Amino acid sequence: MINRPRRLRLNKKIRSLVRETSLHPQDLIYPMFVTEGRGVKQEIAAMPGQYRWSVDMLPAAIREVEEAGVEHIMLFGIPAPEDHDECGSAAWASDGIVQRAIAEIKSHSDIFITTDVCLCEYTSHGHCGQLDADGYVNNDKTLELLAKTALSHVEAGADMVAPSDMMDGRVAAIRARLDEAGHVNTPIMSYAVKYASNFYGPFREAANSAPQHGDRKSYQMDYHNGREAELEAALDVAEGADIIMVKPALPYLDVVARLRPQIKQPMAAYCVSGEYAMLQLAVSQGLVQPDIIYESHIAIKRAGADIILTYFAKELAWTLRAAQQQEVKQ
Ligand code: PBG
């Protein structure tokens, strides 16, 4: 027999020599939810182990993230119910929930903060933009609101902005507004390829952001489509996106792999709330081994993602560090 692939699997050392994919804590972005109130650390029912934090609780929460070795977070704001309105104006308030959270975190830590730029957590109707009288989400009017929101996050101290609304032209609109204000070096990570997915269910519970009527299918992508992902990604690259994201991750690895050879920018994939809930539940019930979490994230990297947004970031980082220490000892 000439070819024996098993030769390279014989022991741990030879396997690690030929390993094609690796995962590092610095590849990870940890999404966090910030809410009004004081002393709040409220577990999200549909996402066991994930919490809504009030601003004053964030410094301690961030310390835990840093202790795990995670260097990046993504912030989502959950404003008070009375602050919701038709156009989501609390999203760009200089004293809004995200803006205050950024300031509080930055006064204690230099963790890299990316903010989710969207209106659905702030609008009374729960859609990601401004509505016309007939209920249509008006693309072009929404661009202005998103640009204002992104700028307010950056002015509050955000290191990167990540628009997740899926309006056409929003990357260009945000880039122009940031540049005009002198923030030429603030990168945009675009949720370029975001499908209208059932996997966002737990997030919408966490953020109270489910649409009051209808769904997001007139702006988020139809999950029957793969080729369209190439179009969306190319448009966002042309508009100046610095990082291209695919979302969700695990059920869409074909899309990540398909885009990888085309996109020269770094690519991110978001392992979303529904993916987290499924994995977490299966592990907590003892139905599968906890290593399924690491394996799933390796799969996302193997498909071609450089960066992973994941609610498992902290525990993955701990696992990775423990594994590394083990190697050193041997
Ligand atoms: C806001 C936004 C959503 C998610 C990220 N940003 C919800 C949605 O589009 O309905 C989903 C994240 C997750 O499910 O973990 N538009």
The one catalytic residue in 194, 217, 264, 329 is: 194
For the chain, 330 residues long, give each residue's pLDDT as a single digit of tens: 999 999 999 999 999 999 999 999 999 999 999 999 999 999 999 999 999 999 999 999 999 999 999 999 999 999 999 999 999 999 999 999 999 999 999 999 999 999 999 999 999 999 999 999 999 999 999 999 999 999 999 999 999 999 999 999 999 999 999 999 999 999 999 999 999 999 999 999 888 889 998 999 999 999 999 999 999 999 999 999 999 999 999 999 999 999 999 999 999 999 999 999 999 999 999 999 999 999 999 999 999 999 999 999 999 999 998 888 776 655
CA pair distance 265, 144, nearest whole angstrom: 26
CA pair distance 196, 178, nearest whole angstrom: 28
pLDDT in the model for residue 329? 57
* Closest ligand 1 atom to Cα of 76: 6
Which residues are registered as beta bridge partners of 29? 309
Q: What torsion do the CA atoms of 276, 277, 279, 283 make, to the nearest 10 degrees?
A: 130
pLDDT in the model for residue 45? 95
Q: 259 to each of 151, 153, 190, 231, 269, how far by Cα in Å?
A: 29, 29, 14, 10, 12
The one catalytic residue in 148, 247, 301, 314 is: 247
CA pair distance 101, 52, nearest whole angstrom: 12
pLDDT in the model for residue 208? 86
SS3 6: helix
CA pair distance 204, 220, nearest whole angstrom: 15
CA pair distance 47, 311, nearest whole angstrom: 9
Q: Is-contact 241 156, C-beta < 8 A?
A: no
What totals of helices (H) and strands (E) does the chain contain, helices first?
11, 10
Report residue 123: phi and psi, to 5°: -85, 150
94: Cα within 13 Å, side-chain hemisphere: 1
Q: Are strands 189-194 and 28-35 parallel, antiparallel or unpaired?
A: unpaired
320: Cα within 13 Å, side-chain hemisphere: 22
Cβ neighbours for 224, distance < 8 A, ≥ 6 positions apart: none
Distance 200 CA to ligand 1 centre (A): 6
Query: Which two tokens mark 147?
Result: 């640009």
SS3 185: coil
pTM of this structure:
0.97
* Closest ligand 1 atom to Cα of 199: 14
Distance 141 CA to ligand 1 centre (A): 21
Q: Is-contact 34 55, C-beta < 8 A?
A: yes
* Closest ligand 1 atom to Cα of 31: 15
* Closest ligand 1 atom to Cα of 201: 14
Q: Are strands 189-194 and 160-163 parallel, antiparallel or unpaired?
A: unpaired
Measuring from each residue's beta carbon to the nearest atom of ligand 1, which residues come in under 6 Å? Answer: 116, 118, 120, 128, 164, 200, 203-204, 209, 272-273
Q: Tell me the residue type at 292.
A: I
Whether 194 is a known active-site residue: answer yes
pLDDT in the model for residue 27? 98
Pocket test for ligand 1, best of 120, 200, 221, 311 (most atoms within 8 A of CB): 200
Distance 17 CA to ligand 1 centre (A): 38
Q: Are strands 28-35 and 307-310 parallel, antiparallel or unpaired?
A: parallel
Which residues are registered as beta bridge partners of 52? 33, 42
Pocket test for ligand 1, best of 30, 203, 204 (most atoms within 8 A of CB): 203
Query: How many residues are present in the chain?
Result: 330
Burial of residue 285, with CB atoms counted within 10 A of its CB: 0-12 exposed, 13-18 middle, 19 or more buried: exposed
Query: Which two tokens mark 278?
Result: 């499924």
